[in-house]
Amino acid sequence: MKLRITTFILLVLFLTIPINYKIAYADTPVVHAVLFYSQTCSHCHKVITEDLPPLAEKYGEQLQIIGVDVTYEEGQNLYQAAIVKYEIPDHRYGVPALIVGDT
């Protein structure tokens, strides 16, 4: 339960980091991505806490990532739909999974 709350808090903080690049990048395209993760996955936790924050700091509002927890039925349904839509091969199934663009 503690890991679940911690992961949620970290994800919310990551997604709501105040960025001051709004004016500078007003005409710059935004990259959209969806991160599929599990709250019990240590690799997912590393991506959320260590890998994504530097990217968010570097790209600011040019990078928008939405997190989807696959341990919930709704999250699993979205993940399965993404697997079908993007024709993800069997050997690439699993989390963390980041789908960038066209999302």
Q: Token pair 């991160």 is at which residue? A: 35
Domains in the chain, start-ordered, CATH in brackets?
Answer: 2-100 (3.40.30)
Q: Distance between CA 31 and CA 12 in Å, rounded?
A: 19
Q: How does DSSP classify residue 48?
A: I
pTM: 0.71
CA 60 to chain centre: 14
Ordered per-residue pLDDT tens for the chain, 103 residues: 555 555 555 454 455 545 444 555 557 789 999 999 999 999 999 999 999 999 999 999 999 999 999 999 999 999 999 999 999 999 999 999 999 986 4
Strand pairing category for 63-69 and 31-37 = parallel
Backbone phi, psi, residue 63, to 5°? -125, 115
Q: Is 13:51 a contact under the CB 8 Å cutoff?
A: no
